[in-house]
Chains A and B, each alone.
Chain A
Amino acid sequence: MESTSKYSAIRPSKSNFGWWILSFLLFLCGIGFIYEFSVNKLGWTFFGFENFGLQLPLFSGERAYYFDIVMIVINFVFWVLSVFNPVLAIIDIISPFSLQFSPIFISGDKWVIIIRALADAAIITLQISLSSIAIGFFIAMFLAIVLVRPGRVWGLKIFSQAYIDFFRSTPLLVQLFIIFFGIPPMIQGLAIPGFERFTFTYIQAAIIGLSLNTAAYQAEIIRGGILAIPTGQTEAARALGLTTTQTMRFVILPQALRIIIPPFTNEGINIILNSSLASSISTWELTRAARNMSAFYYLAFEIFLAAAMFYFVMAYSLARLTKKFEIRYRIPGLGIHHD
């Protein structure tokens, strides 16, 4: 007993940090979820107003100006909070009615309305792209491991290769069209009971298309990472008696996943930016919102610039975040670092 405690005492306490971050994120998720759910699904009111996202009270003069600024700040805080909201994203995927609300042109200063509409749409963009990245990662992991496994795994290798070849060699826009316009009529035509009126919602189609597409690219990234690990590591693990699966899980993947952080960030940014293509299957996301708004207000330059800034904030934050991960999970004593 004594020896156990002696050894555990030496362990650095660095893993505490991760738990703090995790519980903080969970906390934010909870707050964001309660807010979003109560306002958008239950129709509750906060601070005496009917609905935060949709209506503004009308004031006049200087007071209105300050009031709008306060509202923008509060709304921005809630926008940030609801970003951390995977639960809402899941509800969005499974529910036929979604966050896509159209009656944004109500009242108040037009820039408040524009920015608020863009921010709401940006959340949808973020939900679409983050879920796609996550779903795509699981598919990609499967594909990559099938491809690098020694020996034949039934037809799985051929399937994986064909999948990657197809999704990398056809345009994302065409893939989205196939999924949104092509697949529902086909399923309807099969005359399965309960599926006669089958359709995807806009968000479902966008998430399916983007995650299938990114899975192909991510699979190649992960495969590259696995191949970058020296053969000696596998040899040593196998010589110790670890099985192929254990070797993959405890030796290869922990190192490969560290290597792939930079290319993986590229792919994540790609997906955030490419989610704008979902606007052409009428998904109400950032680009779509900007297009509608600019058509309404004739402010194309300003509104698209604002949309571009929203994209920039999302992509840039992702890049900084993964850079943090890269530094945090760096293997001590390995590689060249200039920072």
Chain B
Amino acid sequence: MTNALIEVKNLKKTFRTRGGELVALQNINLRIMPGEVVAVIGSSGSGKSTLLRCMNLLITPTEGQVYFDGELIFNSEAPVDIDIDSVRKNIGMVFQAFNLFMHLTVKNNIHLALKQVLNLPDEEIQDRIKDVLETVNLSDKLNSYPGELSGGQQQRVAIARVLAMRPKLIFFDEPTSALDPELTGEVLEVMKRLVTEYQYTLVVVSHEIPFAREVANRVVFMDEAEILYEGGPDTLVNPPNERLKKFLSKILSTR
């Protein structure tokens, strides 16, 4: 039996607000195996993004344990002695708002982490930059600044920046929801290629139900801070659960 790439146990996250405590996540148990494509769906505010951020510890969970590649990286009961940056370089993350470094060219956006985190020799860095930009079809934008690119191009650069790190798995946090409908296609296409050509492990938080149906081999439905249902992609065609059915019809009717 192989190790799960990421495993979370009894995860809970609460935020302190003015009125009291807001429960963002509770009773979360999730295993992500190598090669899997997991789609996380659910209405906004159900804790999907928080779940992703808890898994690479951008947010510190309130309770529970997180394992990466069989190794305990977070435990709420006892502090774990681990270099979180060396874990994070194996977990790519693509954001809703792209979050490219605005003052750096496309090339330097990719260059930065390869140099500072992986400490690669220059020639290898150049090769990787060339490779990943070809993967996302943006070889001609090498010296453009992010502000000069369209949303879809920016998101593809963000994907390239993550790919250049050769991570073990990639989180996508609503990668297309800040994009025009006509631009989502080019991003989804790149994501599809990651799965079909490169066999990456992906965790995708998305409202793109057709995409999830086509690419994902597991669907996690979250509602009110909990995982409500977990199943294969066919659950999206024949929802076995009343809440899921309602959610899906709502989403699909607005499209």
Contacts and interface: CB of A to CB of B under 8 A. Distances in A.
Contacts, number: 94
B126 A4 contact: yes
A194 interface: no
A241 B95 contact: no
A236 B123 contact: no
Contacts of A250: 101, 112, 116
Interface in A213-254: 230, 232-233, 235-243, 246, 250-251, 254
B143 interface: yes
Contacts of B134: none
A277 to B, nearest CB: 37
Q: Most chain-A Cβ atoms within 10 A of its Cβ — which of B53, B99, B122?
A: B99
Interface stretch (B37-45, B85-93, B190-198, B242-250): B85-93
Contacts of B88: 238-241
Contact of A333 (B91, B127, B147): B147
Nearest to A254: B103
A12 interface: yes
Interface string B182-223: 000000000000000000000000000000000000000000
B89 to A, nearest CB: 3
Contact of A255 (B102, B145, B162): B102
Given A3-B127, A4-B122, A255-B103, A242 B147 contact: no
Interface residues of A, number: 29
A225 to B, nearest CB: 13
A238 B148 contact: no
SS class, residues of chain A in contact with chain B: helix
B168 interface: no
A11 B93 contact: no
Given A246-B116, A333-B147, A240 B103 contact: no
A254 B101 CA distance: 10
B113 interface: yes
Given A10-B142, A333-B147, A236 B127 contact: no
B185 to A, nearest CB: 23
B171 to A, nearest CB: 8
B147 A334 contact: yes
A238 B143 CA distance: 24
B145 A332 contact: yes
A333 B154 CA distance: 12
A1 interface: yes
A331 interface: yes
Contacts of B162: 240
Contact of B143 (A10, A251, A258): A10
A241 B56 CA distance: 10
A243 B119 CA distance: 13
B147 A239 contact: no
A287 B97 CA distance: 53
Contact of A235 (B58, B112, B126, B129): B58
A242 B85 contact: yes
A3 B126 contact: yes
A7 interface: yes
A241 B143 contact: no
Contact of B165 (A230, A240, A333): A240
Nearest to B146: A333
B156 interface: no
Contacts of B100: 236
B70 to A, nearest CB: 20
Nearest to A236: B99
B101 A236 contact: yes
Given A3-B123, A232-B97, A240-B89, A331 B116 contact: no
B117 interface: yes
Interface string B224-239: 0000000000000000
A246 to B, nearest CB: 5
A4 B92 CA distance: 26
A242 B116 CA distance: 7
A240 B117 contact: yes
Contacts of B101: 233, 236-237, 250-251, 255
B48 interface: no
Interface of A: 1, 3-4, 7, 10-12, 230, 232-233, 235-243, 246, 250-251, 254-255, 258, 331-334
Given A7-B142, A334-B147, 13 more contacts: A3-B123, A4-B122, A232-B97, A233-B102, A238-B85, A238-B88, A240-B88, A240-B162, A241-B89, A258-B103, A332-B145, A333-B148, A334-B102
20 contacts: A1-B123, A7-B142, A10-B143, A230-B97, A232-B99, A235-B95, A235-B99, A236-B95, A236-B99, A239-B56, A240-B88, A240-B89, A240-B165, A241-B86, A241-B89, A241-B165, A246-B116, A255-B102, A331-B145, A333-B149
Closest 4 CB pairs of A and B: A333-B147, A241-B89, A236-B99, A232-B99
